[in-house]
Amino acid sequence: MSANGARNWQQINPQYTPNTEKEKKVSVKVKNNGWITKGEKVIYSFIGACLVISGIYMVSFSSTTDTINRELQQLEQTVNTQQVTNDGLMFEVKELSRPERIIEIADKNGLKIQNAEVKQAQTFNN
């Protein structure tokens, strides 16, 4: 077809003529979905809360354990000093209860020993 023939054809068949009017632009709102869904956010929040709570529990437990260990060390130190004191006193008791010392004190106070053996008294624990 020639250009003249095309014009004639468009005039005869107006339904096939292209619209030269501007088409109305329809704005389409596209909903941007996040890369994390609501369910995942709930799960991640729950896991995060569990991690925070377990961290607080661990720190609390560690602090309590440390306090108990310090008290235990102080008690062990007290027991050790008491044992040293007790050992010193036991040595002093043995030193003061020697039979020779008892005979010497008896002689100074005017007591007489008649053919008797001086023995060290021992205690019985029942």
35-54 pLDDT, tens per residue? Answer: 888 899 999 999 999 999 99
Mean of pLDDT over the chain: 83
Q: What pLDDT is recorded for position 52? A: 98
Half-sphere exposure of 3 toward its Cβ, with a 13 Å CA cutoff? Answer: 0
Look at residue 54 in the predicted model and tell me its pLDDT. 98
- The whole-number average pLDDT for the span 93-115 is 84
CB of 17 closer than 8 Å to CB of 10: yes
**With contact defined as beta carbons under 8 Å apart, do 123 and 104 qualify?**
no
**pLDDT at position 114, please?**
72
In the chain, the percentage of residues whose pLDDT exceeds 90 is: 43
pTM of the model: 0.50
- For 115: left if phi > 0, alpha if psi spans -120 to 50, otherwise beta; the answer is left
Q: State the residue for tokens 């941007």.
A: 32
113: nearest Cα among 101, 100, 103, 99: 103
Q: Are 1 and 9 in contact (CB under 8 A)?
A: yes
Least confident of 48-62, 80-94, 109-123: 109-123
